[in-house]
Structure 1
Amino acid sequence: MLTVHHLENSQSFRVLWLLEELDVPYHIEHYARNKETSLAPDNFKKLHPAGTSPCISDGEHTLPESNAIFEYILDKYGNTELRSLDVEQHRVSYLYWFHSAQGSLMPLLTESLIFKRMISKSPAFIRPIIRVVVSKVQSSYLNPRLNKLISHIEQTLKHARWFAGDTFTAADIVMGYCMEVAIARVKLGNDYPNIHRFVADIKRRPAYQKALDKNGPFTPLVD
């Protein structure tokens, strides 16, 4: 049976959600983060040389990386609806957003967290200097790219219920996690009604709720 090595408050939540959408059996191994550093414990890091979450094992195979895991699971269980294969334009949108989540959006959201921690975790006597440096990088690099992508997402969801049209797909699972993180970490307010509508829609899905029950409390890391 496939095992999800589940690190708390991590991207592996989306793997639980995918498996619940597919209604396939799986086993969960829970791992708690270090309370001081928020990092994964040593026994999790030993699962694979990359040492990153999410991570699954299935027989002799151990596999990290969200999109690789999704492709492996979708190949194994043969679901076509979650890959939006029927309409070419929807398929193109699916491919873009499925890979944009990890290729573009999640790295920017991770950098946002890192920059915040550069300030909060730095010694008090150099914190003012670090704050100035971080502010310059945020204003010249991070914020313009992140704001442009978030605006693109808002416009996409203005014209369709889901990221690949009117049908829910795996792109909505990988992007759904990102949107929850973005709302918490970047403080998306009322200027993004379609993003908030999308997040409300995913939270109503029975598979999401089942995954959340097995996950335990989910609070995206914000600082």
Structure 2
Amino acid sequence: MHITLYHLQNSRSQRIVWLCEELNLDYELLTFTEHLQEQDHPKHPHPFKKFPTLVYAPPAQSALVLAETTAIVDFLCQQSTQLATHHMMENKQLADFYYWKNCADASFMPNVALKQIFAQIVQHTPFPIRFIAKVFKYGFDQGYLNNALQQHMQQIELQLKLNPWIAGERFSAADILLWFPLFACTQLDQTFQNYVHINAYLRQIESRPAFQRAKAKGQWSAEHFQLYWNKAH
């Protein structure tokens, strides 16, 4: 079996590098520093040049090309019993597992990303009319986005007050998926850095040997990441 991972540096695909390390997979890592246009890398297997993209090639079978982080996580975890999944959980933990695994990218990450999108809109609006973009961003932040992110953080803090990991007693794929938007959110506003249990949780994640190996292999830069998201508040 041959596994190839197409990875974008300092992006959400870092989670798949980390997952591969947690699962002790033998994989080839191809790291890129920027998004691709169709003509930039003709050998990229996905038609839209997505990151992450996984190429999974079992012996004597056609290779499977899979994109979307959550889909890749589900697929790889099905191939392994090393991470806590549904067959190892009671009903309450199972419900938490499915909720947080899907919440990470379905609702939490889009709200975090909107902060960055509106900050980029302001930055790229011509100076004479930039105030219009700033007013629009301020209204959306105050009317919806700040409160939505605050609710996410409070909910996560409460869950981690009651559990060592986001789905209960065991580390799971839900923790891998949640890490990126959670870390990004802590950089958006200084008040988001004041959650005791979230801070302890992030330190616990960073202490995992597989996480440290993934940082090195994926060329992760916490400083670059923090600077990028700091600009979005």
TM-score, scaled relative to structure 2: 0.86
Code of the aligned partner of 2:7: H
Question: Where does residue 56 of structure 2 map in the other structure?
Answer: 58
Is contact 2:51-2:67 (8 Å) kept?
Answer: yes
Give the ranges of 4+ consecutive aligned residues of structure 1 lying more than 6 Å apart after TM superposition: none
Alignment gaps of 5+ in structure 1: 34-39
Shift of 1:50: 4.1
1:138 to 141, 145, 150: 141
Amino acid of the structure 2 residue aligned with 1:74: C
Matches within 5 A, 1:1-223: 1-33=2-34, 40-42=35-37, 43=40, 47-59=45-57, 60-79=63-82, 81-83=84-86, 85-218=88-221, 219-220=224-225, 221-222=228-229, 223=231
Verify the 8 A CA contact 2:5 2:55 in the aligned structure 1: yes
Residue deviations 1:65-94, cap 9 Å, x none? 111000111112244525573322111101
Displacement after TM superposition at 1:12 (Å): 0.8
Distance in 1, matches of 2:90 and 2:185, equals 29
In 1, the alpha carbon distance for the partners of 2:128 and 2:120 equals: 15
- Equivalent residue letter for 1:17: W
- 1-side partners of 2:87 and 2:159: how far apart? 16
Q: How many matched pairs?
A: 217
More displaced stretch, 99-108 vs 60-69: 60-69
Superposition deviation, residue 15 in structure 1 = 0.4
C-alpha RMSD of the superposition = 1.9
1: distance between equivalents of 2:27 and 2:80?
Answer: 12
| Letter in structure 1 aligned against 2:92 | Q
Residues in 1 aligned to 2:153 and 2:183: alpha-carbon distance in whole angstroms? 12
Query: 1:126 and 1:177, CA in 2 relative to 1: closer, same or farther beyond 3 A?
Result: same
- Out of 118-127 and 105-114, give the one that drifted further: 118-127
One-letter amino acid matched to 1:15: I
Using structure 1 for the length normalisation, give the TM-score: 0.90
**How far off is 1:140 after superposition?**
1.1
Distance 1:44 1:144, change over 3 A: farther
* 1:84–1:167 Cα contact (<8 Å) kept: no
> Percent same amino acid among aligned pairs?
27
Question: How far apart, in 2, do the equivalents of 1:75 and 1:113 lie?
Answer: 33
Contact 1:98 1:174 in 2 (8 A): yes
The structure-2 alpha-carbon separation of the partners of 1:44 and 1:145, relative to structure 1 and needing over 3 Å to count, comes to farther
Provide structure 2 residue ranges, at least 5 long, that are not aligned to the other structure: 58-62
